[in-house]
Amino acid sequence: MIRSQFGITVLDVIKIQYKTRILFDYVQTCYTVSYIQKGEVLTTSPEGEYVASAGDVMIHRPNEPFNVISQRDGVHYLFNIHAEVGDGADFFKLFPLGKVIRIRDRNEYERKFDELRSLWLQEGDDHRNIQIGSLAFFLLYEIVESTKLGGRQTTRDPAITDRFNEALHYMEARLDQEMTREELAKLYHMNPVYFSRAFQKIYKLTPMQMLRKLRLQHAKQLLESTDYTMEHISRCCGFYDAAHFSKAFHNSFGKGPAEYRKCIKFT
């Protein structure tokens, strides 16, 4: 005998296609699980601001106002549900998920949603209701597994000091490349302004200031341990040219790179 400990009520299953989409302070009494099949949106809630794009799921919680803004064509697959575990505990409180989650297998998720949507549009009977519940459960399962197996889950706790380790590693691996705040913000599905504000709250530097600091630290190490030319070091560390590198290095360390290297050798 298998006795289920999971209860799910599906309230609506919808496909939305739009040219632009703007919702302000939208509140509902259920969870909305909204998968972006096409497009990109900015979503804001009491938790913060995030950018979600094709292949991401947004989870909107009940009784919490949220905004959704998109200025481009888009298609959303969404379903509204109540989900309970055991003796009535809220599923999403027992298994807290981020605001935006990257789905590990888009094709499978979309195929199962199409099945769910097709059943939802049919005349109701007990057999259909069981199938609808099973498919909704499968989609939730895919979302939970996506957070474990490589799908990105946005954090809900801004006090965690290693929150932006991924961004630091990303910068360090690409010091010689051009980089923007928007590029880094996409790693966390965040609005660039909110990302910069949250990053600065932890490190007391903006993301671009941190990138400059990491570049100069790397340049310092190269000056200490190699005989590379100033032109080569400036390229390795993402500066436009040797003159720009020399000026930035002097402003940070009080000596030009050539003078610093001479002092190291003398020591």
The radius of gyration of the chain from alpha carbons, rounded to an integer in Å, stands at: 24
Residues of the chain with pLDDT under 70: 1-4, 149-162, 267
- For 256, the token pair is 């030009």
Other C-beta atoms closer than 10 Å to the C-beta of 159 total 8
**39-42 contact pairs (CB < 8 A, 24+):** 39/70, 39/72, 39/73, 39/74, 39/75, 39/76, 40/70, 40/72, 40/74, 41/68, 41/69, 41/70, 41/74, 42/67, 42/68, 42/69, 42/70, 42/191
Query: What is the per-residue pLDDT for 147?
Result: 83
Q: How far apart are CA 142 and CA 108, in angstroms?
A: 9
Q: How far apart are CA 218 and CA 7, in angstroms?
A: 55
Stated pTM of the model: 0.59
Q: How far apart are CA 211 and CA 35, in angstroms?
A: 33
Query: What is the per-residue pLDDT for 115?
Result: 92
| Domain 6-148 identical in fold to domain 206-267 | no
150 conformational bin, left if phi > 0, alpha if psi -120 to 50, beta if neither: left
Q: Which residue type sits at 41?
A: V
Domain ranges across the chain: 6-148, 206-267
- Domain over 206-267 is classified CATH 3.40.50.720: no
Query: What is the per-residue pLDDT for 149?
Result: 54
Architecture of 6-148 per CATH? Answer: Sandwich (2.60)
